[in-house]
Amino acid sequence: PGSAFQPEEGEAADRLAVHLLQAMISAAKADGHVTPDERARIDGQLANLGLEDDAAALIAAELDAPFDVDRIAALAGSEAEAAQIYAVSLLAIDPDGAAEQGYLALLAARLQLDPGLVDHLHARARTLR
């Protein structure tokens, strides 16, 4: 708590939660559609992000938003947030699909993530699946 990974400030915490939700939905759209499994993963994270009241409207707006990896990468205000955006994107999708792998590679490049960190995030994600 109180770190860049878990801000205590209400506005900063809310902003991070919204950015992470946007990243998850963008990743789910990487192959041109959101599968029921991907939607269930996103819905399952809503309680963790603390977006109960406005979550449905936010999800609908993001699902309708044009697919734009640069917009998602631009949400990162710090290295910590860039890593979190990548991690939730990875967790929201099946990373074995070709389109998803391409999206993740492009996102990592746009976020300027160290390849070692990307490998670490993938290893951690495998333990969570």
Q: Are 89 and 118 in contact (CB under 8 A)?
A: no
The model scores a pTM over 0.85: no
Cα–Cα separations (whole angstroms), residue 20 to 95, 98, 102: 17, 22, 19
Backbone angles phi, psi at 106, to 5 degrees: -65, -40
Task: Tell me the pLDDT tens digit for each residue of 1-10.
Answer: 544 555 566 7
What pLDDT was estimated at residue 112? 97
What pLDDT was estimated at residue 35? 83
pLDDT above 90 (res 57): no
β-strand partners of 3: 6
Amino acid 85 reads I
pLDDT, greater one: 2 or 98 = 98
